[in-house]
Structure 1
């Protein structure tokens, strides 16, 4: 049987049908209602915003605010397509500072649900409008304090086909809370309340950015640090978690541009790249980035939900984010003789508050938060009192700020093998030693790997090979594009134009790998130019380092430990700490010895 659609003629859709189709791009789930209505409240200058969810938001979503409100005349037209107070002409699109501007949200809601809006511009009275399925039902005077209440019920009652694809109410509530929270994070000076099924699920009073994130995600505020920076055409704030907060997913790696949560992988990558030397592979940081870009340099008029943006200066923002994060992460360098962070935290009188002032302004490419991020906010659920624990592992990597007048990144003095009291090897992997009154447990592979990595970075000598090593590249285009960068790292690869044979003709003097491992290393390179040195040297160091199961003679172990204890940063190139240490007092506390 022939498909009837093939014989239909082209026609113009009725306005009601077209509006319902268009509404699906803006309002597709209950959380979309929360997102759009909260945007309107923020744009209205509200200082208190409350959302109420019933039946997962399918039955009802109500958002109230104390913003500027709307007049009766505003209410009469606000639900019509393309009605907005944010812009007037196409040139305004180049200077957008509000969250909303398209004039689609209320029109979309009105087309697919029952909409009621009550609003007032002062406390003398207001008005209420009711719109059902895109049709005006009533417009009357109503008592209401300054601000607006938008009540949306029976979502998709006029589009049953869409309603049947919604999730169960509990899932929709979770999505609504997430959408509400994403609006709350960039505006820490606004109070946000979220009620679901007649229960207060989230309360966020005004706080500094780090404290708001701590409360929202139940994170230890001592492990969050608030940094600010700037570049040409943009400013930025980054709230960065300590490496100990690392997760197996990217849920808490979030990017906000001009106060909107965006899916910009380049900036997510910049955050993770800054952490790369302090987090092992497969781990992701807790990192929140808030970037304010000159409106002329960013375009949000890409998608109705405004989750995407186009930038004119994305490479510059990416570079600055990497600098800020990497500069801050250097404060987590592991060195012999520095004050152990967990040791300081075990005494409540020594606990340090979270602070972005890791380095003085001008020493690193970011500045400490001028508003002072060291005001701790006490969350709804109190954290464990670290003064009650003998050994607080939760903050073992939290940096200890440098003393007044002290440069934050001093290179440690070299340690000689004679200074190390070597106690033995356990599990054919860990070296046990005593130094400067502390007990160290050292990962022999990670320690040797870092030592070799540093040797390669310091070495500038190159040896020409008497017999070039011929090989077949896995990615010819990559090698051709990185030929010059590889030469700067001490490795020369050449292609015979006539035969097409590739050869390695020079290597760094510090290189100790067999030819097959060298070929595998070169063929495995995929890093961009700015990360090629780290990837190349770390791969060589990992292959050449002693392995789990290698048994060391005491003299060899002492020599390795001396080099490890002389490192400027005792993390392996892949981000793992080389050692853990315990003082005599810590050991006493662990075994309850007084």
Structure 2
């Protein structure tokens, strides 16, 4: 007798369930996807014990025809694809025909559905078999109740995390649905308590306020653009709102939440130097495209996809984020923490109201202002000048420090770029590190090292990208000594070094000399050359653009004024003016903020001048 035999249908379904139904959140995902495919605009999910006891998903979609009910629980039974062409042009979230069959193999399921608003049908399914069916009263749509999940596969329960963790997974999935389908009214309840509720009015800002809170929702920037193949829309948070992982980066293709490493890279590239190292932005981006350009039949969870013309889409996403942020003032504003929960709730409701109100409606005022006599900037200004006995010593130190570090304004004249910062009047300096400035909007604190880092970074990056480098001969050539192994690696990168204006000439054995350097090189050319060559030695393969980028960052950091260096007032003013005309004056090349703003209103709140 042969050893190969066909699996029992119930056993086959349990095996399939191992791929599709990993945890309670998997059940929620599959059932909500079916509800969306059914055209529902209201979907309610109710769970008990994080879905292990019960999951109820109800919708007002098209419902299931009576003759289709038995087929709905069969394996590979679906109404969504019929031909090979359909498989490669998927326009629905579900299509495999495995969801209900897999769910019913590891739980007890009750289905109530009505397709014509008159007669409803109820069936109960256990171990993939219908055990009861009857007529029932029901509104148009479908309700599916899943109970005792994994009751017949106890080994699966061992892999289920705490109830808190599992509820978090369910909430996360519902948040993604709410962001990708903002036109649908979603409700999530746990133990009869509402966890999420959206209005379904199609406003992504409002949904993100529900998901991420008001602080982020107020700082979202819209993006929108398209090519012949892709249309991209969405919201990206200003760079001061970052997270320690990629979890808050939501990508949707044709309404489906997906994970794609290359598109994630494109998003981060859009922020460029605005993000601190190891931090990630908060974004929700929706991509609309021809279904023929995406293969969603890659993984049972349908979150991993393959894309055609991926580089084109990456470029579009990167450019849209860059352009959107370029038009924004990205100075973080310090706010007084709110401890009044009632006021917080009121402000959230006001934010939602502001998204839908007519423009002419008068602003809502919730604060009572304490009237005080008007005070001029001159009266408010605090004298940060050092004492008379220290003035001359510090002044000398400031002059030497600033000249030694070589101000960018001493470089050859460059075309003046558009101003990206407001005009600010320098008031003084704190600890020789932070510049204090003011204007009619409030008070600003500027990190002087980060500010000059940004100025020098943009200068060096632009100079290294020039096609033709103007060089100056060195009075005494610089000799570089390397081991034979290092010399072999340097030979691989001599063309890369030449691209940034650094010509190494062989001097016998494993030694090289440099007889000329670009005119824009800092004064200590030898140290800079060694740093650049060391970078090449540390990298087996050097991407020219990344090489220029990393080298410009390295040079800008080393050549900028440091903390605890006192500057003259005119030097501080000049530094702020140079910063104002950089392309991205809001962060240093490492993504740290340069300027922090305290609005006049926030200052008054801190001193209880307004309540």
TM-score (norm 2): 0.76
Does residue 511 (structure 1) correspond to residue 521 (structure 2)? The answer is: yes
Task: State the distance in 2 between where 1:478 and 1:64 align.
Answer: 65
Structure 1 residue aligned with 2:183: 189
Structure 1 residue aligned with 2:431: 427
Secondary structure, aligned partner of 1:280: coil
Q: Find the partner of 1:228 among 224, 228, 243.
A: 224
Task: State the distance in 2 between where 1:582 and 1:151 align.
Answer: 52
Unaligned 5+ residue runs, structure 2? Answer: 336-346, 358-363, 371-415, 464-468
Counterparts in 2 of 1:19-418, with a 5 A limit? 19-207=13-201, 208-220=203-215, 221-333=217-329, 375-376=355-356, 411-412=418-419
- Contact kept? 1:482, 1:529, Cα under 8 Å: no
For residues 489-537 of structure 1, what are the alpha-carbon distances to aligned partners after superposition, in whole Å with 9 as ceiling and x for unaligned? 33446789x9677776764322224534543345447785555433321
Please report how far the alpha carbon of residue 242 of structure 1 lies from its aligned counterpart in structure 2 after TM superposition: 1.8
Please report how far the alpha carbon of residue 588 of structure 1 lies from its aligned counterpart in structure 2 after TM superposition: 6.5
Residues 538 and 116 from structure 1, CA distance in 2 versus in 1: closer, same or farther, beyond 3 angstroms? same
Residues 312 and 476 from structure 1, CA distance in 2 versus in 1: closer, same or farther, beyond 3 angstroms? farther
Task: State the distance in 1 between where 2:235 and 2:330 align.
Answer: 22
For residues 101-142 of structure 1, what are the alpha-carbon distances to aligned partners after superposition, in whole Å with 9 as ceiling and x for unaligned? 111101101211112212111111022222101222123322
Does residue 446 (structure 1) correspond to residue 450 (structure 2)? The answer is: yes
Task: State the distance in 2 between where 1:421 and 1:181 align.
Answer: 45
Please report how far the alpha carbon of residue 573 of structure 1 lies from its aligned counterpart in structure 2 after TM superposition: 2.4
Structure 2 residue aligned with 1:394: none
- Contact kept? 2:38, 2:62, Cα under 8 Å: yes
Q: Find the partner of 2:592 among 576, 580, 593.
A: 576
Q: Find the partner of 1:462 among 467, 471, 476.
A: 471
Please report how far the alpha carbon of residue 551 of structure 1 lies from its aligned counterpart in structure 2 after TM superposition: 3.9
Task: State the distance in 2 between where 1:142 and 1:238 align.
Answer: 43
Please report how far the alpha carbon of residue 245 of structure 1 lies from its aligned counterpart in structure 2 after TM superposition: 2.2
Root-mean-square deviation (Å): 4.0
Unaligned 5+ residue runs, structure 1? Answer: 1-7, 344-350, 356-372, 378-383, 391-408
Task: State the distance in 2 between where 1:484 and 1:531 align.
Answer: 15
Please report how far the alpha carbon of residue 239 of structure 1 lies from its aligned counterpart in structure 2 after TM superposition: 0.7
Task: State the distance in 2 between where 1:157 and 1:19 align.
Answer: 15
Q: Which moved more, 1:544-553 or 1:141-150?
A: 544-553
- The count of corresponding residues between Structure 1 and Structure 2 is 530
Residues 228 and 374 from structure 1, CA distance in 2 versus in 1: closer, same or farther, beyond 3 angstroms? farther
- Contact kept? 2:487, 2:510, Cα under 8 Å: no
Secondary structure, aligned partner of 1:375: helix
Counterparts in 2 of 1:482-493, with a 5 A limit? 487-492=498-503
Q: Which moved more, 1:443-452 or 1:89-98?
A: 443-452
Larger radius of gyration between Structure 1 and Structure 2: 2
Task: State the distance in 1 between where 2:196 and 2:300 align.
Answer: 27
- Contact kept? 1:250, 1:285, Cα under 8 Å: yes
Residues 529 and 457 from structure 1, CA distance in 2 versus in 1: closer, same or farther, beyond 3 angstroms? closer
Secondary structure, aligned partner of 2:246: coil
Residues 566 and 39 from structure 1, CA distance in 2 versus in 1: closer, same or farther, beyond 3 angstroms? closer
Residues 194 and 434 from structure 1, CA distance in 2 versus in 1: closer, same or farther, beyond 3 angstroms? closer
Task: State the distance in 2 between where 1:306 and 1:329 align.
Answer: 32
Does residue 539 (structure 1) correspond to residue 519 (structure 2)? The answer is: no
- Contact kept? 1:452, 1:541, Cα under 8 Å: yes
Residues 569 and 61 from structure 1, CA distance in 2 versus in 1: closer, same or farther, beyond 3 angstroms? closer
For residues 157-206 of structure 1, what are the alpha-carbon distances to aligned partners after superposition, in whole Å with 9 as ceiling and x for unaligned? 22121123222323222211212222221111111111111222211111
Task: State the distance in 1 between where 2:24 and 2:488 align.
Answer: 48
Secondary structure, aligned partner of 2:247: coil
Secondary structure, aligned partner of 1:277: helix
- Contact kept? 1:209, 1:226, Cα under 8 Å: no
